[in-house]
Amino acid sequence: MQPTDRHSLHVLITGGAGFIGTNLAAYLLANTDSLITLYDNLSRPGVTLNLAWLKTLDDSRRLRFVHGDVLDASRLHQAARTADEIYHLAAPSEGPDLLTQPRLDFDVNVTGTGNVLEAAHRSGRKPMVLFASTGKVYGALDSIPIRHDATRLQPVDPAFRGVSEATRVDFHCPYACTKSLADKHVREYAPRYDLPTVVFRLGCIAGPGQFGNQGQGWVAHFVYSALSGRPVTIYGDGLQVRDVLHVADLVSAVNAARAYIGVTTGKAFNIGGGLHRSIAVKEMLRLIEETCHVPVQSTCEPARPGDQLLYVSDHSRFTIQTGWTPCRSLEQTVRDIAAFWHANRNRVTPESLPFRKRPFRRAA
């Protein structure tokens, strides 16, 4: 029998005021009686508004905020000493170019993740640690033969179901290298220290409450730009393909990993929308036009270094082991982002996003 969602636990979320952390915390406040600690250095623009919105949901005063950096090992240890579950979502605030801040990437992704693991280990409580990694650990994926169609790149192999965990990890740029190191470090703590750890290699996550700049949240960036009459920039020919997962489906995957920790511990899983929720950049622009009933203006720039031409998550391993599958369509994801924009249109910018209780709760 699957464990109930209602449990008296202490949950620690690093990067807890960010997009995914905020959605996860909102779910926990609404569906569990957990004590929740958000650990964040508030370096991303607008996250203070996320925090303020979450506090409006905290009727029972179960939410605690610690202003701290994952590089501060002592402060992190204090925050984690009573934790039963740790969701390590903190990440550097990278721009649209993955090559901009290699030193920061190393410090946050490698040293910061090591600090989280040590804090979990030293607590003696053996908390579950779930780490948000990335599909970029697989590199450029040049080994996947592709062909050009009129609207998108397509895999040559008709049996292609996405990138699986069996795909070779490739250190193709500093950012991916640091994520790969952290990914491996997290998994090694399971057998060595008997610590239940899980790695999610995430594809594109989208949904209401996202900042929507070019480097983080490209789908939201496109939707907000279209609705406000601003042009979007397409890097490359726009035929590159990504799968898109609604953030509420990601929260569901987190719950599945926790519920089946006996089989998920020590493993890495590709988590994304999968083949049925894959879309090319130019196709996404058309979907936004059809869903939001507005024209989308665009300009073109050369392709960015480190970009994958085609990335689709094969989440079948996680689905088989936990029963999890995505539920929300691409259209619903776009609609939810648009609804959020309409509810907050006077204040939604790439620099800051507030939250209003009703539309965010309804969508998440």
Pairing, β 128-134 against β 197-202: parallel
pLDDT of residue 4: 41
How far is it, in rounded angstroms, from Cα 231 to Cα 299? 7
> Which of 175, 189, 224, 260 is an active site residue?
175
Measure the CA–CA gap between 259 and 3, rounded to whole angstroms: 6
Question: Which domains does the chain possess?
Answer: 10-363 (3.40.50.720)
User: What is residue 99's predicted lDDT score, i.e. its pLDDT?
Assistant: 57
Kindly report the number of other CB atoms within 10 A of residue 327's CB atom. Answer: 10
Q: Residue 211 has what pLDDT?
A: 60
Q: Determine contact, residues 253/271, Cβ cutoff 8 Å.
A: yes
Residues of the chain with pLDDT under 50: 1-6, 94-97, 350-364
Active-site annotation holds for 87:
no
pLDDT digits (tens, 9 = 90+) for 188-215: 999 999 999 999 999 999 998 886 555 5
**What are phi and psi for residue 269, nearest 5 degrees?**
-130, 140
CB 38 within 8 A of CB 17: yes
The pLDDT value given to residue 50: 86
Q: Are 314 and 261 in contact (CB under 8 A)?
A: no
pLDDT of residue 307: 82
- What confidence tens digit (pLDDT) does each residue in 254-270 have? 999 999 999 999 999 99
b/e code 174-209 from CB counts within 10 Å (16+ = b): bbbbbbbbbbebbbebbeeeebbbbbbbbbbbbbbb
Identify the residue whose tokens are 């058309």: 286
The per-residue pLDDT for 3 is 41
CB 212 within 8 A of CB 233: no
Predicted pLDDT at 108: 95
The pLDDT value given to residue 358? 34
